Chain A
Amino acid sequence: MSLRVVLGVAAGGAVGAVLRFLLDRYLRAGILLANVLGCLVLGYLFGELTWLAENGGAPGGAVLTALLSETGSTVLAIGTLGALSTFATVSVRVAQTWMAGRQLRAAGIWVAHVGLGFAAAAAGIALSRISGLY
Chain B
Amino acid sequence: MSSSASTAAHRRPRPKRPATSLTVLVLLVALAGAGGALLRLVVGELIPEQGMKFPWTTLAINLSGSGLLGLLIGAARARPSTPDWVVPTFGTGLLASYTTFSAVILAVMPSMPGAAYDGLRVVTYVSPGAMEMLTYLFISVLGSTAAAAAGLTISRALFGQLGAESADLGVSSEGPHGS
Residue ranges of A at the interface with B (Cβ–Cβ < 8 Å): 1, 5-6, 9-18, 20-22, 24, 35, 38-39, 41-43, 46, 49-50, 52-53, 69-70, 73-74, 77-79, 81-100, 102, 105, 110, 113-114, 117-118, 120-122, 125
- Known contacts A24-B92, A100-B168; A90 and B33 CB within 8 A of each other: no
Q: Chain B: how many interface residues by the 8 Å CB criterion?
A: 67
A16–B69 contact, CB under 8 A? no
A91–B148 contact, CB under 8 A? yes
What 0/1 pattern do residues 111 to 150 of B give for CB contact below 8 A with A? 1110011111110000000000000010011001111110
B152–A17 contact, CB under 8 A? no
Note all chain A residues with C-beta closer than 8 A to B86.
none
B26–A82 contact, CB under 8 A? no
- Known contacts A95-B148, A96-B168, A125-B111; A113 and B97 CB within 8 A of each other: no
Q: Pick the contact of A121: B36, B62, B109, B149 (CB < 8 A).
A: B109
13 residue pairs from A and B, CB less than 8 Å apart? A11-B34, A15-B30, A21-B33, A38-B102, A39-B102, A46-B116, A49-B116, A82-B37, A92-B70, A96-B166, A99-B152, A100-B165, A100-B166
Q: Pick the contact of A85: B33, B102, B151 (CB < 8 A).
A: B102
8 A-B pairs with least C-beta separation: A17-B33, A13-B37, A70-B119, A38-B102, A85-B101, A83-B97, A91-B66, A87-B99
Residue ranges of B at the interface with A (Cβ–Cβ < 8 Å): 25-26, 29-38, 40-41, 44-45, 62, 65-66, 68-70, 73, 88, 91-93, 95-106, 109, 111-113, 116-122, 137, 140-141, 144-149, 151-153, 165-169
Note all chain A residues with C-beta closer than 8 A to B109.
43, 118, 121-122, 125
B145–A95 contact, CB under 8 A? yes
A87–B140 contact, CB under 8 A? yes
Residue among A41, A82, A125 with most chain B CB within 10 A:
A82
CB-nearest residue of chain A relative to B27?
Answer: A18
Note all chain B residues with C-beta closer than 8 A to A96.
73, 152, 165-168
Grouping DSSP codes into helix (H, G, I), strand (E, B) and loop, the A interface class, with mixed when no group exceeds half, is: helix
Residue among B93, B106, B111, B147 with most chain A CB within 10 A:
B106
Note all chain B residues with C-beta closer than 8 A to A42.
102-103, 105-106, 122
- Known contacts A50-B117, A96-B167; A86 and B105 CB within 8 A of each other: no
- Complex: how many Å from CA A77 to CA B124? 12
Note all chain B residues with C-beta closer than 8 A to A99.
149, 152-153, 165-166
B41–A118 contact, CB under 8 A? no
B29–A21 contact, CB under 8 A? yes
- Known contacts A43-B106, A50-B113; A91 and B145 CB within 8 A of each other: yes
